[in-house]
Amino acid sequence: MATMAEVDLEKLVYTRAELLTSGDYAEPLIANGIRCHGGFDADGVYGSPRVIHRTPAVLAWQAQLEQGGHELIGIARALMPPQYPNVEQAKLLLEHGVRDPIVRALTIVSIVEGFGAIIRDVKVPKLDELIVEPIDGSALAHLNQGLFEAHARDESGYREEGGHKQMWEAARDLALETPKIPGDVLMRLMGRRRRAAKAKRPFPQLDEKLERMLQMMAQVMVVEVFAMGTFDWGERLLSDPEVSAEPQAAGDMVRYIRADESPHIEYLRTGLSEIRARTLRTVDGNTISGREVVDRLIHRILKAMTTHRREEQREDVRAGMKDAMQVAAEPTQLLEEFDSLDSSWTPPEKTGFEAPAAA
């Protein structure tokens, strides 16, 4: 992100074209032979795509919030569950030739990043009609004026440029020398089957499009914050010369992705904080505090992701582990050693977004 000194905090309105504009690069980023977004300046420093206006814009909107006496929401690091397998466990597997679980995990990360493109399909309702206070010059006013589109392009690539999907694939292929992709990747990605069921609406009194949009923003923000744990994991693992064929290049690729992701968290938390600082109209002609809505949505998502979803994810990874270990010389011993390296973790009791206790 740009520093405050470089930012024109007075400029609060940006065009869609501005928010989608990238700077000039002395050299493009080529990953796996594919031209990706972003690039390098004359000193070889990586620059993220579409940030020359987006970063100052977000900083200006955040400053405006603070000036109004409103807080910017954040998710405590303590809520982030550790990766499974963790770096030590993953290294152990690779050192014993058990590559499938790691290749599968990295491939799934790349696909999930690519799915980020669907954020451009989120329907943004007429916010000025659904929010009591004005939204001019805020992140909210720019969601479908470039912010969602920039996010989508960053994740999945756009036209001739690859995005994070292709960059994760490149990191995987650099480190593990273009490994064979396990045939069950998509099966694992789809995960356990749940019968389709429309979830009960948490706020039926809200306009449905608005509720969906806020749910999506909260969900994506939590995923993006938790993804920082994945970046730590990927960077440490893939830049480890003991297991990576190209530790510098593979590690750098993950660092570039991480740098690109930061604006996503920032605009999402800004937009949600702006909602929190406002009042929402309900379909029956009443109002509801934005804070109540946002906090309850984030709380629900955090509770789910730190408890049963985490357990399910561990079980799914674990399910294929025994089979995958059969390629090792001593699979039983390896499994024991693998388990001994597991990170212990207990989710914090509080998410920080609980409803205030009734007086």
Partner 1 sequence: MTLFTRLYRTIVITRLAVTLWLLYQIPGYWRRLRGMPKRTDEELRQTHDKAADLILAAAFRMRGVIIKMCQAIATRSDVFPPEFVNRLKECHDRVPHKSFDVIRPVVESELGKPLDAVFSEFSETPIAAASLAQVHAARLHDGREVAVKIQYPDIEEIVKTDLRNMERACRIYEYFEPQPLALLPLLKELTLHLGLELDFRREGESADRIRELFADDEHVIVPEIYHEFSTGRVLVMQKVGGTKIDEAEALEAMGFDLYEIVQDLMHIYVRMILAAGFFQADPHPGNLFVTEKREIVVLDFGLSKQLPEGYGLGLFELMFSLMTFNEAAMIRAFQELGFETKTGDTDTFVTLARRMISRSDTGAFEGEFTEEMTNELFNAIRENPVVTVPTDFVLVGRVFAFLSGIAHTLGHRANILAAMGAAPP
Binding site for partner 1 (CB under 8 A): 34, 111, 114-115, 117-119, 121-122, 156-163, 165, 181, 183-187, 189-193, 195-199, 212, 215-216, 219
Nearest Cα to Cα of residue 271 among 119, 138, 75, 123: 138
**69 or 183: CB nearest partner 1:** 183
By beta-carbon proximity to partner 1, the closer residue of 57 and 220 is 220
For 196, residues 6+ apart whose C-beta sits below 8 A from its C-beta are: none
Amino acid of residue 39: G
Q: Give which of 22, 134, 145, 4 is closest to 62, Cα–Cα.
A: 4
Q: Which of 309, 354, 327, 306 is nearest to 94 (CA)?
A: 327
CB of 159 to partner 1, least distance (A): 5
Long-range contacts of residues 340-343, Cβ cutoff 8 Å, at least 24 apart: 341/86, 341/88, 341/89, 341/92, 342/84, 342/86, 342/89, 343/82, 343/83, 343/84, 343/86
Cβ closest to partner 1, residue 111 vs residue 341: 111
The least CB distance from residue 181 to partner 1, in Å, is 6
Distance in Å, CB of 154 to partner 1, minimum: 11
Residue 11 near residue 56 (C-beta atoms within 8 A)? yes
**Identity of the residue, 114 or 251, whose beta carbon is nearer to partner 1 in the bound complex:** 114
Nearest distance from residue 116's CB to partner 1, in Å? 9
Cβ distance 140 to 267 under 8 Å? no
**d(Cα 38, Cα 163) in Å, to the nearest integer?**
9
- Smallest separation (angstroms) from partner 1 to the CB of 239: 27
Q: Of 35 and 281, which has the nearer Cβ to partner 1?
A: 35
State the minimum distance, in angstroms, from the CB of residue 334 to partner 1. 27
Q: In the chain, which residue ranges form alpha helices assigned H by DSSP?
A: 16-19, 54-67, 87-95, 100-115, 127-130, 148-156, 164-176, 185-190, 208-238, 247-276, 290-306, 308-324, 331-340
- Nearer residue to partner 1 within complex by CB, 87 or 218: 218
Least distance between partner 1 and beta carbon 167 (Å): 14
- Nearer of residues 232 and 316 to partner 1, judged by Cβ: 316
Q: How far apart are CA 75 and CA 91, in angstroms?
A: 29
